[in-house]
Amino acid sequence: MILSDADILRRLEAGDLVVEPLDDPDIQIQPASVDLRLGREFLEFQHANIPCIHPNSEQETEDYTDRVEVPEDGEYILHPGDFVLGTTRERVEIPDDLIAHVEGRSSLGRLAIVVHATAGLCDPGYKGQITLELSNLGTAPVALTPGMRISQLTFTELKTPADRPYGEDRGSKYQDQSGPQASKIQGDREFGGDQ
């Protein structure tokens, strides 16, 4: 079952679902979703002098990414073909009986802005800001401003709460993240990690 605005408000008031700061519930809570705003931090991918990215090498990340912070009243220009990691301003906490889906906003989609490449899911138990995988599929640069509504979360209720929710007990890589986070795939078992 997908939560409606009334369900979302009820869960927020009960405190088991957290979206904070939720500065303008009248605007941010939609009929079946919550709009999230763009944060100020971005992780840019540079053209690096490496032959390719090796998913099992954490050190390479520093060779091809730069962290950028935009002033509150500034803007981030996303050029055609660019891919950058951004973050939501809001921190979320998803209870064990819900799953959250990160979706783009239609108004930005019509400007050719995509907010996630593949990672559109917040597992039960997830806590932290959400890293956005921002791309401009259009032909013109688009100015993104901190605080603008950039994405939306929908919530689906699970038939039963997760037995093993996302978090420390699972060794989850992105729990309690703040700001955009580069891939931590090198922690996966197939690359010698424990996850």
Q: What is the CATH number of the domain that holds 73?
A: 2.70.40.10
pLDDT at residue 195 greater than cutoff 80: no
Q: Is 183 annotated as a binding residue?
A: no
Q: Which domain holds residue 76?
A: 5-46+66-161
127 is in an annotated binding site: no
Q: Is 133 an active-site residue?
A: yes
SS3 percent helix, strand, coil of the chain, rounded to 5, is 15, 35, 45
**Annotated catalytic residue: which of 58, 60, 133, 157?**
133
In a domain, 191, yes or no: no
Please tell me whether 152 is known to bind a ligand. Answer: yes
**Which range, of 44-53, 67-76, 169-178, averages the lowest pLDDT?**
44-53
pLDDT at 190: 73
Q: Do the domain assignments include residue 195?
A: no
**59 lies in a domain?**
no
Which of residues 101 and 175 earns the better pLDDT score?
101
**Could you give the number of structural domains in the chain?**
1
pLDDT in tens, 173-186: 888 888 888 777 77
Compute φ and ψ for 194, nearest 5 degrees.
Answer: -110, 15
Domain assignment present for 174: no
Q: Does a structural domain hold residue 175?
A: no
